[in-house]
Every structure is written in structure tokens, then in C-alpha cells.
Structure 1
Amino acid sequence: MPVDPYILMLLGTVGLAALVPARGTGAEVASGASTAAIAVLFFLYGIRLSTREALDGLKHWRLHVTVLACTFLVFPLLGLAARGFVPVLLTDPLYQGLLFLTLVPSTIQSSIAFTSIARGNVPAAICAGSFSSLAGIVLTPLLAASLLGGAAGGFAADSVLQIVLQLLVPFVAGQLLRRWLGGFVARHKKVLGFVDRGSILLVVYTAFSEGMVHGVWHQVSAARLAGLLAVEAVLLAVMLSLTWYGARALRFSREDRIAIQFAGSKKSLAAGLPMASVLFGAQASLAVLPLMLFHQMQLMVCAVIAKRRSRDPVAAEVSAPGPDAGSRTVVGSGTRSR
């Protein structure tokens, strides 16, 4: 099962923050750089999202509504139910991080990759992940304000305004400038990918440095981490089952069910980390820990599921010849995958 190399880089960044945390002026510089990096990150997201493809994807609205409901309704309800594991398995700060995890949007890249491997509806996965990310810029802080309130460290009412200024405004600016900058971003996709990942690493270093300075890591023990992993394993198993069998009950095709399962059961590390740094302040390091662990867990489990789905006899019957499932036209998508 795959271990995401980027997770190893994140863990290395956490180790660096533990050994050499930013303090004093260094902390102020890191915080300012982190804020700027988040704005750049979402500016690039805005440029990359094709408005035309998103509008075309609206034709398959039932699938997208289902994914959004899984992401922003079913997941949070399960997060609230997990309150029953406090204090037996989880401490209150870890539970707050777990609840935050259930509020962030779905992934884009991994949902597309696993849907393609499993021979599912790839265009639908692209649109579903994009819609979820866009909706999360607004829904995640609103849900956090409703469900977390003042319990989440530095979270306050003006955090919603901070989210708008740091995330939504750059994203909209990217959409407006996409006409002129879209080609440049597409040509330099690999280089700008390092900007994406570097921005998130900077956010992680800043958050964990602040956590080290405030001593929040003294609240975590090996037993609590094991409890957190157990709860997250149950959460992932429940969502994978609900998205698969629920989509079948709603009479979606096999290709659509695959897209719903992979897009509706995941949570985005790239979107969640910047939001947590804004919403949680000094407690952000503990808040993002459940998300980091869940991210790796979902990659490992979904990789196995995708490979098994690709070997299903039904998959061979409905797929076009050849190993490249992403190059075929998928029934019900209304678009051709690229």
C-alpha cells in the first residue's frame, strides 16, 4: 500500500518545527510568509479551475449534490457523533481536530486518480472535486463557526472574514485572470506544483512551531494517538460503505458510484491545512493532526479498493479497450475526460 512521499515531507516539517520552532521575530516573519503563501495557493487554484468545465459538469447535478451531501452533511453528522469517544479514546482538543476534519472539502487529484484506476466516471470526479473545493471555501468556515464556536483555540467570529480575504478573494481573482494566465499556469504546471506544496509545508511549519511554543504537544500521548487512528479507521469505513451502497440505492450507474465513493469519502489536506491555520491559531497543530493521519489512511485504503474495482468483471465489460480508462467517453458524464 502506498505511503505518500508528501506525507513524509510533512512529517519532516513537523520534526523541524519541533527541533527548531520559529520564535519572536522569526515567528512573525513565518506567519506573514504563511499568510502570503495561502493567498498564492488559492490564487493558483482559481486559475486552474476551468469555469467552462465546471458549468458543463452541472448537467450531472444529481451526482454532485450527492457528493456535496456526503462531504458537508453526512461527514459532519458522523463527526458530531464521535463526541461519544471523549474522553475514553480522544481528548477534547483531538476531538475538535477530528470534527474539523469532517468539515473540510473533498480532494481533487486523488479522487480523479482512483476513479480512473477503478474505471469510473472520471469527468464527474473532476467536477465533483472542483465543486467541493469551491463550496468548502464558504461552507467550511461557516460550519466551523456553527459547530466549533469558541472552543477551537484562537477561533473567533472574524475568522470567517479572514477566510474570505485570504482564500475566497484570491480564488476569485484567479478566476477573473484565468483568461490571461491560464496558459502560463498550464505550461508551468510542474514548477508551480512545487509552489503549492511548498506553501503547505510553510503553513505546517508555522502552525507546529506555534504549537511547540505554546506547549500543546504535551497534551498528546501514544495511547491517544492510537485511539484517534481507531476512530478515523471507523469513520473512513463508514463513509466508504455509505457512498458505495447509498449510491446504488439511489440507482446511479457503476461508473457514477465509483466517482461518488472516491469523491465523497475523502478530505483535502491541501484545503484543510490553510483553513486550520486561520481558524485555530495556536491550536492549529493539534487541529491538523487528525487530518494528516486521515489523509494517509484514505490514500492507502482507496488505492486497494481502486485496484480491486478495476479487476471487476463488470468493469471489463463497460470499459473501452485499452488500459487508459481516462481517455474514453464515460456514460452519463456529458463531457469527455482528458
Structure 2
Amino acid sequence: MKLKTDPFVLYIIAVILFAYFFPQWGSDKSVVPLDTIGSVGISLIFFFYGLKLSPEKLIAGLKNWKLHVLIQLSTFLLFPLVVLLFYPLAKSMQQETLWLAMLFLASLPSTVSSSVVMVSIARGNIPAAIFNASISGIIGIIITPLWMGLFLNTAAADFHLAVIYKKLLLEILLPVIAGIVLQRFFGKYAVRYNKQLTIFDKSVILLIIYKSFAESFEEKIFSSIQWFDLLLLSAVVTGLFFLLYFLTGTIAKRLRFTIEDRITAQFCGTKKSLVHGTVFSKILFGNTAAIGIILLPLMLFHAFQIFFISFVATKLAKR
């Protein structure tokens, strides 16, 4: 079976390499206002996200509530609880930073585009996938900062939930609401130019990734991470994915879901959004030098989830 490599994963690797060799453009002293460009780009991403949300479809999707509850509990409760079990093992400052990065990954919402695409390929419950992936991003605006606030309050003196929620409200929630309000007027254009909007979204994400890693490289944050640590982190991220994939599948079977609903539960309940992750990291962690490390588990998870789910979806499509 031939699997296609997601080009976006290759672009991420290229951007990280570019940040390694040319970190100066992403520093605070750079003449290029990447922070401002990134903030405006973020607001536009979520405005277009709101334009694509159909209130009628979201309301219609409420019927299959058991499936929705399982997916959201997996996304925002099971994932973080599993990571919390390993908190006592974080002894040193570096280990605590990596653990916070894992908690950040675990507390993120699901991703919209790839979840729906993979469920569609696997012939799962597409309307439920659209509903859950869409609503997950909105729930994440509230839940993700709460999870991180439990530990960042003690790790960072400048972390204040009120300030964080203000930024999330202005940069994310208000643009989403504006998009939903204007959806009936401009929603058709968002659908028509979805390909171009996707390119725009990914460009903004790559810009944020560049700045995040450029700052980390300039401060030599990665100098303490050895290849063995990176391989161990990759194994932990992979193990976390498989554990949640198994748990959601087992629970779905116990609840006697149809095969279509089980596919949707496992695909949507184990996805983590790279878009929300990069955006939230910028707001939650500001311009801290360690932000590259914070994003590292998410990058590894993103690459692996796409590879594995693509394989499974292609296999299920032949049933």
C-alpha cells in the first residue's frame, strides 16, 4: 500500500531548518514585525473558520450526543489525565518543560480539516466528524488555558488567566463570532475559495513556527536536548496516541456504536490541532525562548497521526 507524505509536514521541517540557519529574522530585534503579522494572520484564520461554520449543520449534528460526548471527553479529559499521571517523574527543569509541552499537546482541541477528510476516506460518520471537529476548536479556547493554568501559574509569574482569555477573546473568539454572523452572506465564498484559504492558514502557521523555533535556536534552548531524548520523546508521543486510540475504540465498542461512529470516535478523539497549537502557544507562552520545545511534541504527534490515520483510513475504505 503506497502512502503519500503530507507536504505540510515537509514544509514544517524546512521552516525549522531555515530557523536554525537564519534565526535573526525571528528575534525581537528583527526589523520584520513577525509578531504583528502573526497576530493579524491568526485573527483572519479564525474569521475564515467562522465563515465556514454553518449554524444549521451544527444544530442538526447535536442528535448523536453519545458520540459527541465521547470525542470531547477523549480530547479534553482523557488525554490530559494520562499525561498528568507522569507529572511526578518531572524532576529537573528540563523534564518539567518537556512535561508541560506534553500537557499542552494533550489539552489541545481536535483538528477540523484532516479529521473530516480521514473520516470521509474511511467511510465513517462525516456529519458527526464535521460537528465535533468544529465545536472542539471553540471548546478549546476555554479548556486549554484552564489545563495549562493549573501548572503555568506556578512555573511562570507572568501567566494570568484573565490576560490570556482577553487575548483569546480579541484574537480568536471575536473573529470566529464575526465569521459565524457573516456566514450567510459570505460563507459561500469561504467554501468556494477553501483551497486558497487553506494555503493562507498554513502560511501563517509556518510563520509562527519559524519565529518560535528561531527564538529557541538563538537562545540555544535545544542545546541540552540529545538525540536519545528526542527519540524517547517520539516514543512517548507515539505511545500516547496509541493508548488514546485504543481507549476510544474500546469505549465505542462498549457503547455499541456502529462501525461508522467508531471510526469517527477514534479519528476525531485522537487528533490534535497544529493550527490551534501554534496559535495558542503564541498567546499562552508569549515570546519565551522555550516555545520551540513546547511545540516539539505537537510537531511529532502531528506527523505521526497523519501517517497512521491515513494508513488506517485507506484500509477501512476497502471494507
TM over 0.5: yes
The CA deviation at 1:24 is 4.2
Map 1:209-248 to 2 at 5 A: 209-248=214-253
Map 1:253-332 to 2 at 5 A: 253-281=258-286, 282=288, 283-312=290-319
C-alpha distance in 1 between matches for 2:195 and 2:313: 26
1:134-165, Cα deviation, whole Å (9 max, x unpaired):
21122111222124434269644322221222
The CA deviation at 1:311 is 3.4
The CA deviation at 1:85 is 5.0
The CA deviation at 1:264 is 0.4
1:191–1:153 Cα change, 3 Å: farther
What SS class does the counterpart of residue 64 from structure 2 fall into?
helix
The CA deviation at 1:25 is 4.0
1:296 partner amino acid: A
Structure 1 partner of 2:166: 161
Structure 1 partner of 2:41: 37
Aligned length: 311
Tell me if 1:205 matches 2:207. no
Tell me if 1:134 matches 2:138. yes
List runs of 5+ in structure 1 lacking aligned partners. Answer: 313-338
C-alpha distance in 1 between matches for 2:4 and 2:74: 25
Structure 2 partner of 1:332: none
C-alpha distance in 1 between matches for 2:274 and 2:27: 26
What SS class does the counterpart of residue 213 from structure 2 fall into?
helix
What SS class does the counterpart of residue 266 from structure 1 fall into?
coil
1:33-80, Cα deviation, whole Å (9 max, x unpaired):
111111111111111111111111011122111110000010010111
1:178-234, Cα deviation, whole Å (9 max, x unpaired):
222212222222222221111111111121122223322223221111110111111
What SS class does the counterpart of residue 108 from structure 2 fall into?
coil
Map 1:29-68 to 2 at 5 A: 29-68=33-72
C-alpha distance in 2 between matches for 1:302 and 1:256: 15
Asked if the contact 2:47/2:179 (under 8 Å) is kept, the reply is: yes
Asked if the contact 1:91/1:224 (under 8 Å) is kept, the reply is: no
Percent of aligned pairs with the same amino acid: 35
Asked if the contact 1:35/1:166 (under 8 Å) is kept, the reply is: yes
The CA deviation at 1:91 is 2.3
With structure 2 as the length reference, what TM-score do the two structures score? 0.91
C-alpha distance in 1 between matches for 2:225 and 2:198: 33
1:19 partner amino acid: F
C-alpha distance in 2 between matches for 1:79 and 1:2: 31
C-alpha distance in 2 between matches for 1:274 and 1:69: 22
Asked if the contact 1:207/1:285 (under 8 Å) is kept, the reply is: yes
Structure 1 partner of 2:119: 115
Structure 1 partner of 2:74: 70
Match of 1:172 among 151, 170, 177: 177
